[in-house]
Structure 1
Amino acid sequence: MNELTTEIIAALAQKQDLDEVFRHHLEIAINQLLQTELAEFLGYERYSYAGINTGNNRNGSYERSFDTKYDQLNLTIP
């Protein structure tokens, strides 16, 4: 079983709301997706020497909050 499945089972066993479990994993998935998209766009991974002196740099990130069905998601936008 993976982490999501384990957390769903635990929440169901304790009769907790599943929205928080989904919100947490959705937030993680979107943040990872944004980082992967940036690496593909730039052509190199974070901290890779391939990006040195290319002029195609990572210029930091900023935080944004989005209201969703599962409550507020805090995303790090590259």
Structure 2
Amino acid sequence: VHVMRNICAKVRVDDREKIMNEFKQIHQQTSQKEAAAVLHEFYAKWNKAYSHVIKGLREIEPDLLVFYNYPKQIRASIYSTESFNNVIKRKAKPKAEFPTEQSLDV
């Protein structure tokens, strides 16, 4: 998610939707090998226009595909933990006035 935001900030507005749709395809593949192939196609297509973006992606490539090391059932939750963490923060914030965890249960 953070990578996508960084990409959006560094590309022209006219290209954002195309780039984001293509980048999302990487996370929709069934295996790490397929995802790497899609990622390298992405590099080839956009390197000429956005070499600085592609260079940054190449540096973090192992981290981009690490979630493929986990079972398919939990990949989506790994990929989308940011929204889950935001929900937890919103729920916990109003309860910050409670001094202990036991006082939350009362």
TM-score, length-scaled by structure 1: 0.31
Higher helix share: 2
Which protein has the larger Cα radius of gyration, Structure 1 or Structure 2?
A: 2
> Higher RCO, 1 or 2 (CA under 8 Å, sep at least 6)?
1
Higher strand share: 1
TM-score, length-scaled by structure 2: 0.24
